[in-house]
Structure 1
Amino acid sequence: MRTGIHSKAQGKAKRRKKKRFRPFAFAFRSAVVLGLLGAGWIGYLLWTIDTFQPEPLEEKYDAGIVLGAALWRNEPSRVLKERLDQALALYKEGKFDVFILTGGYDYNGSTIPEAEGMRNYLLARGVPQNRMLLDPKAQSTYDNLLNSKAIMKRVGIKSVVIITHEFHSARAADIARYLNYERPAFSMAESIARPAGQQLRREVMAFTKWKLDSVLLRFGRRLPDNMGL
């Protein structure tokens, strides 16, 4: 009888031991799982960015949308110049007749919005003022495309080519789909102004923010735009 009681007591003790919470082991396992999920997410975004291939450009579009980038001392940064030069080449080829220039104030102290800096750059290169429509309020790629769509509706523009960089195009295309653009074309500038690793690190963070925003927008919310992205 004593042996039976002793065995039952040992069994209960073992079960209690098995159920004991081990915080360090739990934290380690959680960190491993989160690390794997994070690595998988980064890998997915890098693959999405790298494999994005737009359709070949058609003969003519109503307008070219140039997505904004930073100004430095009210002049386009090297990154923005690359986009503008790409757009200017398409304009001279006759791919479109009207520019939509979109970008608001930077957080680096510029005294004019990006759209005005872009306009000044193109004016100096012979583009007439009446060929440029400006959105001086956008603070993100989402704003760029949202505000540009409003301009398109206002003036009756139907077809557009969106001009930005290779590393930025996949996210811009995802946002354009979200905003129900009708088959937008993309012309991708190659960037030599910013190191590739720096471009991709920033773009992975910005793409992640956009994916979160796309969920939050269902509830009328967004993450702040002034996050350095």
Structure 2
Amino acid sequence: MSPSRRALRLCYQGAVLLSVLTIAPLTWVWLASSGHRAVAGTSPGWTAGVPAAPVALVLGAAAFGGTPSPMLARRLDISAELYRAGRVRAILLSGDNGRVGYDEPTVMRDYLLARGIPGHALVLDHAGFDTWDSCVRARTVFGATRLTVVTQVFHLPRAVTLCRTAGLETFGVGDDSSRVWASTYAYAAREFAAAAKGLLDSVVLDSAPVFPGPRETTLEAALQPR
């Protein structure tokens, strides 16, 4: 084999290997979450298809001042529908509060309070800096064992898989309305790298959250009969 053909073959093999490494994490999250996720409906009664769980875990997204981004607002609307339908009894709001003047969980709480969700059902996690941290902290800090995770459909396979890998019995509900937003394509493309990071954090390294504790009892209190 000539040197040029050998170099071409090595380039081809490298490209195939790179493609496999890129696709494998995304394939993992899709297969691991299969049968454990659904798209939020728009017709009355769609929540009947969601298994009942003690708590909904709403994953944070961008907030602007005191207002959730459209993406985050839709996640919150879904969690409110699940609560009103009796599919969950509490809502765990997990988001970023890592810098002064930026507080996703409080914005999330205020949004739901304004829409009639009672404060006693809302629990705030101020250290949900990424999906893996939110899932691990839901179990180790807040004591959740079974939950419904709420996010957008492009993020849903990863969210469900990471929560299940963290030891939570998890079903996921995703918002599909975001497909009309131009930014959705950028977020969906980011899932390739995010799935790889999730695989590394959860399976390879079993990474601890940025803030692993201490244990909180706020979710247990929210779940008490009233």
Structure 1 CA distance, aligned partners of 2:111 and 2:174? 19
Residue 108 of structure 2, aligned match among 118, 124, 131: 118
- CA shift for structure 1 position 163: 1.1
**Any idea what SS the aligned residue of 2:116 has?**
coil
* C-alpha contact (below 8 Å) 1:62/1:96 kept by paired residues: yes
Structure 2 CA distance, aligned partners of 1:52 and 1:33? 31
Residues 1:99 and 2:79 are matched in the alignment: no
**Structure 2: segments with no counterpart, 5+ residues:** 38-48, 210-226
Q: Which residue of 2 aligns with 1:3?
A: none
Q: Which residue of 1 aligns with 2:223?
A: none
Structure 1 or 2: more helix by fraction: 1
* C-alpha contact (below 8 Å) 1:103/1:115 kept by paired residues: yes
Q: Which residue of 1 aligns with 2:156?
A: 169
| Aligned positions, number | 195
**Bigger relative contact order, structure 1 or 2 (CA pairs below 8 A, ≥6 apart):** 2
Structure 1 vs Structure 2 CA RMSD: 3.1
**Any idea what SS the aligned residue of 2:155 has?**
helix
Structure 1 CA distance, aligned partners of 2:94 and 2:15? 37
Residue 208 of structure 1, aligned match among 190, 193, 196: 196
Q: Which residue of 2 aligns with 1:146?
A: 136
Structure 2 CA distance, aligned partners of 1:40 and 1:159? 33
Letter in 2 for 1:207: A
Structure 1 CA distance, aligned partners of 2:22 and 2:127? 31
Structure 2 CA distance, aligned partners of 1:102 and 1:135? 5
TM-score (norm 2): 0.72
Q: 1:200 to 1:102 in 2, by over 3 A?
A: same
- CA shift for structure 1 position 186: 1.5
Quick check: which has more Rg, 1 or 2?
1
Q: 1:26 to 1:75 in 2, by over 3 A?
A: farther
Q: 1:76 to 1:46 in 2, by over 3 A?
A: farther
1:185-200 mapped onto 2 (5 Å cutoff): 185-192=171-178, 194-195=181-182, 196-200=184-188
TM-score (norm 1): 0.72
**Any idea what SS the aligned residue of 1:126 has?**
coil
- The sequence identity of aligned pairs, in percent, is 26
